[in-house]
Amino acid sequence: MTIPAPSATCVLLSGDEAIARGAFEAGVLVAASYPGTPATEVLEALVQYPEIEAEWSPNEKVALEVALGASLAGARALVSMKHVGLNVASDPLVTASYVGVRGGLVVVSADDPGMFSSQNEQDNRHYARLAKIPMLEPCDSQEAKEFTRSAFEISERFDTPVLLRITTRLAHSKSIVDLGERRERTPTGFVRDVAKTVMVPGHARRRHELVEARMNALAEWAESCSLNRIEEGDRGIGVICSGIAYEYVKEVQPKASILKLGLTHPLPSGLIREFAEGVDRLQVIEELDPYLEEQIRALGVRLSHERVSPRLGELSPTSVARLLETGKSAPRAPLPDLPPRPPVLCPGCGHRALLTVLKQLKVFVSGDIGCYTLGVQPPLETMDTCVCMGASLGVAFGVEKATGRSDNIVAVVGDSTFLHSGIAPLMDIVYNRGATTVIILDNETVAMTGHQDHPGTGRTAAGESTHRLPLDELVRAIGVRHVAVVDPYDMKQSKELIQAGLRRSEPTVIIARRRCVLLDREARRRARRIDVERCTGCGQCLTHGCPAIFDKTPEGERKKQVEIIAQLCVGCNVCGQLCPVGAIVEEPDSG
């Protein structure tokens, strides 16, 4: 059998990649982002197009401001971030709504229902209402591309930023996309118009009127725009849905009548009423909050169910079948008593070495967002708080203020997280005469999201060489007098530096610098092994949770039996420093 060659213009793209492709085709000139699952791959794909100026910004607020500036200079611009990133960028977002655009401005928010890699599962659809901007929700990669292009047209036609809201299952699912051509657009340049772009109260009051008028015009347009459509089917059951939920409904109830909403702010009230009148039973299927449901009920439209939006976690075809009462037999339960397999810090991770020292010191650890958050798990259990990017410093300082003690608490923050939003709280600690000990876990990359660059790496998103921000000079300039750089593999020195910091009545910053072990394969040393003659079976080497150390102690045996898995060991010798009898030695040279 011969098969036709696949068309070069039909490719399998993730939702993130499809958005990047849509931006490329729409002639986007400037793109900015801060890495965050599930949005990271949007910018990673954009940077592949030489026509686009794509940057990793220090944080999402800066990213949105850069994109807004590009828009005001007449270029099409896109900014992408994970849902919690939009909290950081919410300040410019809400006022950018008043300012409007010159070139199209699209804000991509990638939400994470189910929290695969996030600290909360907020529903960012609420931001569209808060900021009074239109919102689009695509259902697959092809739509993600098309909606991105539409979003730029809507942005320019209605003089507004547009929110393109996706979720993890859209961002990280791949489906076939038909590629189109790029249409180049030449930016007009910045045109002075202070009533539009200088938001002092007098101007902002006038702009707010225009925002309200714009939303009315959009609501009218929503009734007839092709982003929303009724798919007539069985009149017995009608379903209103958007985004990935639409695909689940089509999967489990293919015969239902469906009102598919692509534009979910503002809602087309006339179309909703018309659809409701044409069906016997009406249900809303949506993930997380009852965003559609509450607005539809507020129209006076009767739904055939009490609240069904589960609010918790993500939807699946299985759960949608249950919500729609398709009568499908309940699925089998998972097998009982399976051990969980949570993610862990890698063998040889510098974070593990430093967190092990903190465990020994029994201090309160104010933590932050990054791989090191995994230190909360047993056996390390060295993380006492984790809230949002950069929170570790302010929270530690608050505890210090409330307890009057700084000798039993440290703040732990990654290099990129510190640059994202740790600088301001460090200023606060110095300015308000704190004595906090701050440890910057500097692995010279944004590791958790797949090794992106940041201002401290000396490389741009495109891999070009640039100024490398020296963390030690930065914190000295803020006013921290006690600054030290240490290799976290040297646990003795790390411990001494932390103890000195805890004793001090002034702020201390310790930069624990060790390049991410996944990036630094040359730094691998010879694997370790257990000298069974010397090993007393105390189990100290099992207290830091290294995946390369295997506990093979038989059930009921008190004396530990351990083995180091040579293929996994990178020879960091953290376990060797934990062993009280010197029973962890180098593997003999295999030649």
Question: Which residues here bind another protein, judged by CB under 8 A?
Answer: 1-4, 6, 10, 12, 37-38, 40-41, 116-117, 140, 169, 172-176, 244, 247-248, 250-252, 254, 316-318, 321, 329, 331-335, 337-346, 371, 374, 377-379, 448-450, 545-547, 550, 555
Between 4 and 588, whose beta carbon lies closer to another protein?
A: 4
DSSP letters along 228-288, please? Answer: EEEE--EEEEEEEEEHHHHHHHHHH-TTEEEEEESEEES--HHHHHHHHHT-SEEEEE-SS
Between 108 and 222, whose beta carbon lies closer to another protein?
A: 108
Between 174 and 185, whose beta carbon lies closer to another protein?
A: 174
Helix axes 423-431, 391-403, angle to 10 degrees: 20
Alpha-carbon Rg for the chain in angstroms:
27
Residues 366 and 392: beta-carbon distance below 8 Å? yes
Q: In what order do the strands lie in the sheet with 256-261?
A: 228-231, 256-261, 234-242, 281-285
Kindly state the smallest distance separating residue 555's Cβ from another protein, in Å.
8
Between 3 and 477, whose beta carbon lies closer to another protein?
A: 3
Kindly state the smallest distance separating residue 48's Cβ from another protein, in Å.
17
DSSP letters along 290-329, please? Answer: -HHHHHHHHTTPPPSSS-----SS---HHHHHHHTT--PP
Kindly state the smallest distance separating residue 254's Cβ from another protein, in Å.
8
Kindly state the smallest distance separating residue 528's Cβ from another protein, in Å.
17
Kindly state the smallest distance separating residue 470's Cβ from another protein, in Å.
29
Between 218 and 346, whose beta carbon lies closer to another protein?
A: 346
Between 504 and 524, whose beta carbon lies closer to another protein?
A: 524
Kindly state the smallest distance separating residue 148's Cβ from another protein, in Å.
19
Kindly state the smallest distance separating residue 590's Cβ from another protein, in Å.
16
Dihedral, CA atoms, 215, 220, 225, 231, nearest 10 degrees?
120
- The number of residues making up the chain comes to 591
Residue 482 bridge partners (DSSP): 508
Q: d(Cα 90, Cα 57) in Å, to the nearest integer? A: 15
Between 121 and 156, whose beta carbon lies closer to another protein?
A: 121
Kindly state the smallest distance separating residue 558's Cβ from another protein, in Å.
17
Q: d(Cα 591, Cα 587) in Å, to the nearest integer? A: 11
Between 119 and 499, whose beta carbon lies closer to another protein?
A: 119
Q: d(Cα 72, Cα 30) in Å, to the nearest integer? A: 12
DSSP letters along 499-549, please? Answer: HHHHH-SS-EEEEEE---TTT-GGG--PPEEE-TTT-----GGGTT--TTE
